[in-house]
Amino acid sequence: MLSSLVDATVRHLVPTDVVTLLPAIAGGGTIGPGDPADPLGAADCELLRAGELAQPVNTASSLVLAVIGVWILLRARRCERGRRAASTFGVLTILAGLGSVDYHGLQSPVAQWTHDAGAALLVAAAVAVPLWRLVQRRPPVPGWSRIRGVALAGAAVVALTAYWSGRTGTVLCDPDSIVQLHALWHLMIGVLAALWAGALWPVPGPPPESGTSWADHRFLYRIVRTAARVVWRDIDTDDLRDLADGPVVVVANHFGGLADAVVLMSVLPRRPRILADDAIWRVPPARWVMRRIGAVAVHRGRSGSTDNRSMFATAAEALDDGDLLLIFPEGITRDEPSIGRVHTGAVRMAAAADVDVRIVAVGLHYADKAAFRSDVAVRRGGSVVVAADERADDQADVDQLTDRVATELRAAAPDYEGWDEVAALRCAATVALETVDDRRRVAIGERERLASAYAALPAHERDQVRIAATEFVSTGAATVERRHSTPTARVLRTLVWVVALPYAVVGALVFAVPLAITWLSSKLPLAPAVRATIVPMVAIATFGIASALVIWSGAVHHGGDGVGLALSLLTVSFLALVYVADTAVAVLRSVWHRVGRRRDRRRVLVAELERITGVPVAGSPGAVGAARAAVELEAGPS
């Protein structure tokens, strides 16, 4: 059912001229260069066809192996040790995939050599690296774990089963089918290569030194990270690694409801203990989730109790144990772009602990908190240390410390007079940063920092900046994502886009319903803060259900082979869909906004900003220059 559904859907809805690598087009006609009598690939079940690709299904799965090699190569940059070796392993995986593409698809005169040599080099590297480490008396597989071992063993069993069951003449061989077991063999080789690369060259994860580390909650962390990547296109975060140790209370603005918690959990270096309204515990599924994430209930009377002594006791005990608490000190979600009254709870919890506690302000800056696939920046603010001998019942000291916390939070978070001011100052910041360096995309973190610096100007200067930006927009100009790069980078990006396009089409078909429902939920006629809570919940539920249905269908109709194929299809098609869609939207916006004399109007606005602030906008290039301009603006002109 799974193969026939995908086969029929893609055949009828996808133009064959743009999906030449899709297995779906193998169902009709001839599409390969090889002579059907050519022995290359004849033992691998799939029917040999005339045309550009001899075995399209096996060719496409070989290309996925090469894509996995690209992922291993990119991952190597995050390795603390052995980056060159890890990069080499990634390159060999790419060569093995491309050799298999040549063997099953193009069938060039050297196809047998490229296929066998690529596979041999990959196997040799996988064996040689741990052996060499043993010779040097070093740990041969530093990233080994029981879970990884089980995954490697399971993938190896599936791979070998697929290989021998997918040979020509076996019971399961169907030469005309879109589901080829030899293709699954290719996919599982990619999975084995990725798992083995992770074991040989581990990437450091969130530090597990103290508190409730993410190392103890890997499954929860993966769910949160996946949800964040689905809902938001880009999460630009400051360095938060210093929050990995010791008792810490993170205070953040509460503009986005559930979205705030999802974003912060996805970027913090360890699992936070979130303080949340006890009304959430009244819903059974939510109660189970809150217990799993270690949340602490705050009683506000909605459930019949206002006694928070147990809450303060639990929080103090968690801080004594070195945990990280996450608090939204305004108490409620706000739709206004400013910080409301900051309550004393964070300081009182810190004072109740028997250890020194850091209260760290973190600001969340949403491009559009209720939009699907928007951007968000996480800015780290200053900190306030509450000494172990501080008394929670000393109201004067508590109020004084709370005022300091509120000051740090307002400096880190958005704090504007209204949404008109937000739009104007963000526009001014974007234009200024484009002038600093017009060869790259303006990051939301840089834009928000500079916009906040404009908002902190004296009232008369801030008003002048707002008026100048408003006039700039009123003339028909607009800010736009820039994607300037070298010609070589543009060619490579285009090639990647073309290769990813067929898989993106499959992803659009598989995830059409979840995408539509999530997008519609972002357009509901509700308050933005409510929509910001609904969108992540809808995305997690709909994408999870769609993925589960595809995996279930594969398991029912094709057993373990179907599960492996479904997982590979879901992963590759979703990543391709995200990349193709985001790139296409950015390019279309850039083309649309290039119409007109926008560059001249931008020069006028930049000159006005320099006159008002006294700070040269184009003083230094790049991200360093953008940060320096914001710092100079905050300090005032010299």
pLDDT of residue 74: 87
Give percent above pLDDT 90 in the chain: 9
Mean pLDDT over 133-153 rounds to 79
Mean pLDDT over 209-229 rounds to 72
For residues 75 and 605, what is the distance between their CA atoms, to the nearest angstrom? 41
Amino acid found at 454: Y
Q: What is the chain's mean pLDDT, rounded?
A: 77
Instruction: Enumerate residues 6+ apart whose C-beta is below 8 A from 67.
Output: 97, 190, 572
Q: What is the DSSP string of 370-415?
A: TSTTEEEEEEEEEEEEE-TT--TT-HHHHHHHHHHHHHHHHHHS--
Instruction: Enumerate residues 6+ apart whose C-beta is below 8 A from 219.
Output: none
Higher pLDDT: 301 or 236? It is 236
For residues 445 and 237, what is the distance between their CA atoms, to the nearest angstrom? 7
The Cβ of residue 129 has, within 10 Å, a number of other Cβ atoms equal to 21
Q: Where would I find the H helices in 29-145?
A: 56-75, 83-101, 111-135
Residues 22-66 pLDDT 10s: 333 333 333 333 344 446 778 888 888 777 788 888 888 889 999
> Are 619 and 628 a contacting pair, CB within 8 Å?
yes
pLDDT of residue 55: 85
pLDDT of residue 327: 92
pLDDT of residue 252: 93
Residue 315 has pLDDT above 80, yes or no: yes
Residue 285 has pLDDT above 80, yes or no: no
Q: Model's pTM, two decimal places? A: 0.58
Amino acid found at 258: L
SS3 475: coil
The Cβ of residue 307 has, within 10 Å, a number of other Cβ atoms equal to 8
Residues 261-274 pLDDT 10s: 889 998 998 889 98
Mean pLDDT over 210-227 rounds to 73
pLDDT of residue 31: 32
Q: Which tokens in the block code for residue 592? A: 């649309």
pLDDT of residue 13: 34
Strand partners, 384: 359
User: Cα torsion for 73, 205, 234, 227, to the nearest 10°?
Assistant: 110
Amino acid found at 512: A
Weakest mean pLDDT among 80-84, 147-151, 331-335, 476-480 = 476-480
Residue 135 has pLDDT above 70, yes or no: no
Q: With CA atoms as reference, report the closest residue to 176 among 372, 27, 306, 351.
A: 27
Residue 626 has pLDDT above 60, yes or no: no
Weakest mean pLDDT among 102-106, 434-438, 516-520, 583-587 = 434-438
SS3 595: coil
pLDDT of residue 440: 58
Specify the residue for token string 């050519």: 38
pLDDT of residue 498: 77
Residue 250 has pLDDT above 80, yes or no: yes
H or E element that contains 203: none
Burial class, 24, CB count within 10 angstroms (exposed 0-12 / middle 13-18 / buried 19+): buried
Amino acid found at 142: P
The Cβ of residue 605 has, within 10 Å, a number of other Cβ atoms equal to 23
Residues 292-312 pLDDT 10s: 778 888 876 555 566 778 888
Mean pLDDT over 113-117 rounds to 84
> Where in the chain are the domains?
31-200, 214-415, 421-480+597-635, 487-593
